[in-house]
Structures are given as C-alpha cells and as structure tokens.
Amino acid sequence: MKRIADAILQNPSETVNLSITQLMNRSKVGSESTIVRFYRQLGYESFHEFKVTLASEIA
C-alpha cells in the first residue's frame, strides 16, 4: 500500500490519467487487485471515483 501511495504522491497530476495496470506497473506491486484494495480501503467504490476525487483535489 505504501508503494502505491508513494507512486501517486510523486506525480498526482499524471496519476489521474493512468489505468489500474499502469499504476500497478509504476508502483511495482504484484497485481491489479492490490490497487483495488488500496482505493477501497480509502473508501472509494471504483478507480474512476478515486481518480475524479484526486483530480478535484489537485485543482
């Protein structure tokens, strides 16, 4: 989970344009389900919802 958060925090504006697979590769985690667990632990129902919130926070 820390690797995912670090990857997002390094470049949040770029993260909003990534797919789950691209974020998985960038954060060097083993599977897409790890990304799913990450955003669900933060209270989001979908990756899209997470990215929309991230984008609004950046703006």
At 23 the pLDDT is 97
The number of domains in the chain is 1
Residues 6+ apart with CB under 8 A from 18: 26
Quote the domain boundaries for residue 20: 2-58
At 59 the pLDDT is 85
Residue 28 DSSP symbol: T
Q: Which two tokens stand for residue 56?
A: 């609004």
End-to-end CA distance of the chain: 25
This prediction's pTM: 0.90
Q: Yes or no: say if 41 and 1 are a contact pair by the CB < 8 Å rule.
A: yes
What CATH number is associated with residue 41? 1.10.10.10
Summarize pLDDT for 12-59 with one digit per residue, the tens.
999 999 999 999 999 999 999 999 999 999 999 999 999 999 999 998
